[in-house]
Amino acid sequence: MSQLNVLDMNNKVVGKVSLKEDIFNSEIKEHLLHKSVIAHLANLRRGTHSTKIKSEVRGGGAKPWRQKGTGRARAGSIRSPLWRGGGITFGPKPRDYDHDVPKKMRRSALISALSLKVKNGDIFVVDKIDIDKPKTKDVVSILKNFKIDRSVLFLIDEKNMNLELSARNIPDARVQRVDSINVYDLLYYDKIICTKGAIDKIQTTMKQAQGKAQE
């Protein structure tokens, strides 16, 4: 069982946290990471795009001109796709983009993402994140202490409104609770600042999920 340093807000070591090998030091399955990211992005699509075909466009009931004798090309409707304002040929219609990934694959992809972050040294574990009141300056100070100048994800185990309100004005910074953790966000953000409680909750939840899968 490997360990990571537990830090305070000043980036000083205050303890250790044990990481389960089957969660934070597992085989990195790149194909599952790819599949999970594709599914996540697909599920974000609303699928409400729509265009009208020739029969749905208003107007065009009368033939523009007689078939022969005008010297012009034959035309049956001003709503033909060849005409400006006419229908759209093979245009998009409302559809469902939902992409389902089996539970075991989702769990395996999440473990791969966590293992990748630990392997690359992109996870900082802190004992707690205490902010007295919503203040962006406090979060900026934390990032400076950890020498983070890239995108960062704060993973917390419980509601922390002061942190969430303080971080929302910082570009490329996001606060997320462990309950809604996903592969896309883990891979998207360069660095992760994670509370010790969040680590414990991840390990407990994963253990329970693995137990249910084996039943």
Statement to judge: residues 105 and 91 lie in one domain: no
For the chain, how far is it from start to end, CA to CA, in angstroms? 25
C-alpha atoms less than 13 angstroms from C-alpha of 207 in its C-beta half-sphere: 9
Residue 187 domain boundaries: 2-45+98-214
Polymer length of the chain: 215
Statement to judge: residues 122 and 206 lie in one domain: yes
Statement to judge: residues 183 and 87 lie in one domain: no
Statement to judge: residues 82 and 126 lie in one domain: no
| pLDDT number for residue 49 | 95
| pLDDT number for residue 212 | 66
| pLDDT number for residue 2 | 83
Statement to judge: residues 37 and 73 lie in one domain: no
- Residues in CB range of 34: below 8 A, 6 or more apart: none
User: What stretch of H or E contains 194?
Assistant: strand 191-195
Statement to judge: residues 28 and 64 lie in one domain: no
User: Rounded to an integer, what is the distance from CA 163 to the centroid of its chain?
Assistant: 20
Strands 13-19 and 2-7 turn out to be antiparallel
| pLDDT number for residue 143 | 94
- Provide the residue-wise pLDDT of the chain in tens; the chain has 215 residues: 688 999 999 999 999 999 999 999 999 999 999 999 999 999 999 999 999 999 999 988 899 999 999 999 999 999 999 999 999 999 999 999 999 999 999 999 999 999 999 999 999 999 999 898 999 999 999 999 999 999 999 999 999 999 999 999 999 999 999 999 999 999 999 999 999 999 999 999 888 877 666 65
| pLDDT number for residue 121 | 92
Q: Output 116-121 pairs: Cβ under 8 A, ≥24 positions apart.
A: 116/28, 116/33, 116/187, 117/186, 117/192, 118/2, 118/4, 118/19, 118/24, 118/25, 119/25, 119/28
Statement to judge: residues 106 and 185 lie in one domain: yes
| pLDDT number for residue 215 | 56
SS3 65: coil
Statement to judge: residues 144 and 204 lie in one domain: yes
Statement to judge: residues 84 and 8 lie in one domain: no
CATH number of the domain that residue 15 is part of: 3.40.1370.10
What is the pTM (predicted TM-score) of this model?
A: 0.83
Statement to judge: residues 183 and 129 lie in one domain: yes
Please list the alpha-helical segments (H only) found in the chain. Answer: 21-24, 30-44, 103-119, 136-145, 161-167, 183-188, 196-214
Statement to judge: residues 84 and 27 lie in one domain: no
* End-of-domain residue from the set 68, 96, 124: 96
Statement to judge: residues 145 and 180 lie in one domain: yes
Domain count, the chain: 2
| pLDDT number for residue 213 | 63
